Amino acid sequence: MWSSCFRSRAYHCITGSLCLLQYDGDCAGESRPERRGLVHSRRKRKRIATLPEDILKEIGYSELEALFTAALASLESRKAFINSLNVFPVPDGDTGTNMSLTLRTALEEVQKSQPKSMKELVSTLSAGSLIGARGNSGVILSQIIRGMATAADSKPVLTTTDFTQMLTKATEVAYKAVVTPVEGTILTVVRRMAESAAGLQQEDYTDYLAEVIRTGRQAVKETTGQLPALAEAHVVDAGAEGLVTLLEGMLMSLRGETVVSEKLTLKDESKEHVGPQDLTYRYDTVILVASDTLPETEVRAKLTERGDSLVMASAGGLTKIHVHTNEPYDTIQYLMKFAPIREGHIEDMQYQANEYAGGPASGTGSSSKPLASTEGCADDNVQRAYVVVSPGPGFDEIFRKLGAQIIVAGGDTMNPPTEAFVDPIKACNAKSFIVFPNNKNIIMAAQQAADLIDKDVQVLNARHPVQAISALVQLASCGPDDDCMAVANQAIDATDFFAVTCATKNATVCGMLVHEGDYMLFVDDKFVGLGQSVEGALVHLSESPISWDDKSLVSVYRGADFAEAPFDALVATLTRQFPDLEIQPYYGGQAFYGVVGSVE
């Protein structure tokens, strides 16, 4: 139950999708990747064979691929640490995950295409990072890679001078991608490294990159003093840390070091090929639970009722579970009763099987690798389709009733990649699309998707699912001659939103000391107050800067880990607290936030 807070304390470790690609060889020149889960640690090894033992003055496309492979391993080895560099002690610290998954997607595309030249390699890296970009940090990283690719596109080999040009172009492209660039972030660090590189004379890559990283490390350290929120939390910028970590992986490879894996091994008990016509359970679901003491007999029995191909492996305080099921959301919610979910990944096997067979994806499930519902898109008469990001099954149902054609699973700690929007929009027959990202960390990925699609796609500045609900209600009466974007934007602007979550660590927020286990109330993404329970935190709702004079309705949405009885009691308390307002309760099914809601 949400109010216990015991299981909530590890939520800051939750990190989106699981890693599915393992580099089994010590370097990219030794063997191609196989698909498995992995966690990384460091050890010494021989210098990779593709790089000469003496002074390295230039690199070709295969060496550059090896460096990016090492960069990914470095990112993933420090992913949890980068995730922990979160200003607020709430479960949305996923910068490390977003950056590593963005780069992982890029390298997966490289493995598929097998490039044979520098131009092919950098083009594939750029395109792969664009479609795989997750969250603001992932989008910015994709723009950095895009800039580097642009500078390297016409060069058969790269000298250190060429690499400097790549960093310079990366800086230019990244800054242009952000509407309001903020110093003290990843932007500052890539700029500082580019400026440092421009003044270097080293021809040897190892010496050159070491100097660039030295500047980057100092720039990361200085971010703490550049942004007040970082100073108060006593942390550096997570995106900046991730970028330098990426380059450090490249340097480790040049020096003959690598980042190798320590993993929970999952051996699939079913090796038979399953064709499109054979699928009984549609969704391949892999979940990492933050406990190695689950009641295995009970869990196996329960999950076997819901699917097949069940595999459980435990080690080091974690249990990795693999199952094929038609109920991935329910499976995750069931496992949350035992311990927090550290990571999760869901893939639509029907789509993959049909794609493998050369046919279209069938049914109403995902038309992309991420889980996405595309109901209503088969109708050629659909003029305008609504694309919404939803954090839980309750919100899914509400969005369907309000006419949303495409529902993308996502929210805090599970930012969908750019391709989660691109693929279903491309597959939908509507003439135009309105996208509701519903999270401040998903807006950039949605905007990037719109830029990649040759269709009429408009992205709204919706920062929470409840804002999308308000807008969809108003859009129901929007006629063909009306300015529907204006209608939607007006509804979004008029809707305040709030959320209560449990602090995952001790911190100082807005001058207030927050202890692990405290409940925090946020209104319009701003911290408002504390309580010892969800109900205690919501007492501060009336003290928030909401303009209450023109408000008439409070909608409250119950989270997946908040039981019905205490939720009903909470609704009764809100009714007493706001006697002049209508209180409407719903089931949202969102993770990590016991209660979210809107005031309009």
Q: Beginning with the edge strand found earlier in the chain, give each strand of the sheet holding 384-390 in spatial order.
A: 372-373, 406-409, 384-390, 432-436, 456-459
The model's pLDDT over 499-544, given as tens digits with 9 standing for 90+, comes to 998 887 888 888 888 888 899 999 999 999 999 999 999 999 988 8
Could you tell me the pLDDT band of residue 38, with boundaries at 50, 70 and 90? very low
* SS3 state of residue 586: strand
Using an 8 Å Cβ cutoff, are 130 and 164 in contact? no
Pairwise pLDDT comparison (341 vs 424), residue with the higher score: 424
Residue 72 has pLDDT above 70, yes or no: yes
The DSSP-derived string for 491-542 is: HHHT-EEEEEEE--S-EEETTEEE-TT-EEEEETTEEEEEESSHHHHHGGGG
The model's pLDDT over 287-338, given as tens digits with 9 standing for 90+, comes to 878 887 889 889 989 998 888 877 777 666 778 787 888 877 778 878 888 8
Cα–Cα distances in angstroms (integers) from residue 592 to residues 19, 90, 324, 340, 573, in the given order? 22, 9, 24, 9, 22
Pairwise pLDDT comparison (267 vs 540), residue with the higher score: 540
Portion of the chain with pLDDT greater than 70, in percent = 80
Q: At residue 477, what is the residue type?
A: S
For residue 17, give both structure tokens. Answer: 């999708």
Which numeric CATH code is attached to 23-262? 1.25.40.340
For residues 376, 377, 379, 380, the Cα torsion angle rounded to the nearest 10 degrees is 150
Structure pTM? 0.69
Could you tell me the pLDDT band of residue 362, with boundaries at 50, 70 and 90? very low
**CATH for the 496-599 domain, from 3.30.499, 3.30.1180, 3.40.50, 1.10.10:** 3.30.1180
* SS3 state of residue 387: strand
The model's pLDDT over 99-129, given as tens digits with 9 standing for 90+, comes to 999 999 999 999 999 999 999 999 999 999 9
Could you tell me the pLDDT band of residue 379, with boundaries at 50, 70 and 90? low
Helix (H) or strand (E) holding 131: helix 118-132
Cα separation, 319 vs 468, in Å, equals 36
Which pLDDT score is estimated for 543?
87
How does 245-259 read in b/e, with b if 16+ C-beta sit within 10 Å?
bbbbbbbbbbeebbb
Pairwise pLDDT comparison (453 vs 339), residue with the higher score: 453
Which pLDDT score is estimated for 84?
86
Taking Cα atoms as reference points, which of 516, 520, 509, 504 lies closest to residue 229? 509
Residue 593 has pLDDT above 50, yes or no: yes
| Phi/psi at 314 (5° precision) | -120, 145
Which pLDDT score is estimated for 264?
36
Please, which residues bridge with residue 521 across strands? 500, 529
Which pLDDT score is estimated for 363?
35
Q: At residue 421, what is the residue type?
A: F
Range in 346-350, 352-356, 552-556 the model is least confident about: 352-356
The DSSP-derived string for 38-88 is: -EEEEEE-PPPTTS-SS---EE-HHHHHHHHHHHHHHHHHTHHHHHH--SS
Pairwise pLDDT comparison (450 vs 37), residue with the higher score: 450
Which numeric CATH code is attached to 364-493? 3.40.50.510
The torsion region of residue 518 among left (phi > 0), alpha (psi -120 to 50) and beta comes to beta
Using an 8 Å Cβ cutoff, are 90 and 503 in contact? yes
Pairwise pLDDT comparison (357 vs 180), residue with the higher score: 180
Pairwise pLDDT comparison (243 vs 9), residue with the higher score: 243
DSSP state of 266: -
Which pLDDT score is estimated for 6?
29
Domain residues of the chain, as ranges? 23-262, 276-352, 364-493, 496-599
Using an 8 Å Cβ cutoff, are 322 and 268 in contact? yes
The model's pLDDT over 227-257, given as tens digits with 9 standing for 90+, comes to 998 998 889 999 999 999 999 999 999 998 8
Residue 437 has pLDDT above 70, yes or no: yes
Cα separation, 594 vs 420, in Å, equals 26
Cα separation, 453 vs 555, in Å, equals 35
- Average pLDDT (23-28) is 30
Q: Alpha helices of 158-262 — where are they, by DSSP H? A: 160-177, 186-198, 205-226, 228-233, 238-254
For residue 225, give both structure tokens. Answer: 């003093």
Pairwise pLDDT comparison (378 vs 40), residue with the higher score: 378
Could you tell me the pLDDT band of residue 131, with boundaries at 50, 70 and 90? confident
Which pLDDT score is estimated for 554?
95
Cα separation, 277 vs 365, in Å, equals 15
Could you tell me the pLDDT band of residue 281, with boundaries at 50, 70 and 90? confident
Using an 8 Å Cβ cutoff, are 47 and 257 in contact? no
Place of tokens 């970082």: 230
Which pLDDT score is estimated for 91?
60
Residue 368 has pLDDT above 50, yes or no: no
The answer as to CATH 3.30.70.980 being correct for domain 276-352 is yes
Using an 8 Å Cβ cutoff, are 121 and 61 in contact? yes
